[in-house]
Amino acid sequence: MSKIVLVTGGNRGIGLAIAREFLANGDTVIVTSRSGEPVAGLNVVTCDVSDTASVDAAFTKVETEFGPIQVLVANAGITRDKLLVRMSDDDIDEVLNTNLVGAIRVARRASRPMTQAKSGRIIFISSVVALAGSAGQVNYAASKAGLIGVARSLAREHGPRNITVNVVAPGFIDTDMTAVLSDDRKAQIVSNIPLGRYGSATEVAQSVVFLASDAAQYITGALIPVDGGLGMGH
């Protein structure tokens, strides 16, 4: 059965791949972006996840035009990478407010209609960095690690209402963000990945679509790494 799916930050990279995978699955897909610029083949709504009023306005618009959101993918995120001794308060606050608090905001707003319907799927997009750590990414690692605690707490809250809450943690994925790395850095990263290659955004997207499917209805509070084995043991 077709579902109404909202993907935050779904206008590029992994978020866009997730949106397109749901679309290929026959679902009604809406993506959010701060700019609200059109994305070919997808419904777009303007939303700044760091602002509660913007989140509420975006959800209200989607609900009015398409109906209650049945699947939320909290994917929106930013980076402000630098060593901690050089990291400003703004670098810390902006990353945490977007990646962690922003995800909490959208999950809170999505939870209301899901609770009423006694059905729903919430999927947070974390990162292997949350598990393994990464120099220069203290703020980002903290924000992505926090999502795991959020998801597992929310899974306990929502379990009696038939709402599942899970986390997907991508590793190094071939996107525009990783394309800027030097060849030496790419080779160093790949040497630490048991499968010996970068992942694709589509591989991450397929895991997310699975968690939203009937086949995953007994999975909640789970963390699924899509990282080629990079984060094993964490």
| Domain interval for residue 15 | 4-173+200-225
Query: What pLDDT, in 10s, does the model give residues 39-69?
Result: 888 999 999 999 999 999 999 999 999 999 9
173: three-class secondary structure by DSSP: strand
Is 82 part of any domain? Answer: yes
Is 12 part of any domain? Answer: yes
Closest CA to 151 of 221, 98, 217: 221
Is 195 part of any domain? Answer: no
Q: Is the pLDDT of residue 72 over 70?
A: yes
Is 188 part of any domain? Answer: no
In CATH, what number is assigned to the domain containing residue 75?
A: 3.40.50.720
Is 217 part of any domain? Answer: yes
Q: Are 163 and 115 in contact (CB under 8 A)?
A: yes
**Pair of tokens at residue 194:** 């048991």
Is 76 part of any domain? Answer: yes
**The total number of structural domains that make up the chain:** 1
The mean pLDDT value for 95-107 works out to 97
Residue 73 pairs in a beta bridge with 7, 123
The mean pLDDT value for 76-101 works out to 95
Which residues are marked as active site? Answer: 140
Is 186 part of any domain? Answer: no
Query: What pLDDT, in 10s, does the model give residues 186-208?
Result: 888 899 899 999 999 999 999 99
Buried b (16+ CB within 10 A) or exposed e, 82-104: eeeeebeeebbebbbbbbbbbbb
Is 87 part of any domain? Answer: yes
Question: Can you give the pLDDT at residue 233?
Answer: 60
Helices (DSSP H) in the chain: which residue ranges?
13-24, 52-65, 89-95, 102-117, 129-132, 138-158, 176-179, 183-191, 201-211
pTM attached to this predicted model: 0.94
- How far apart, in whole angstroms, are the C-alpha atoms of residue 115 and residue 40? 32
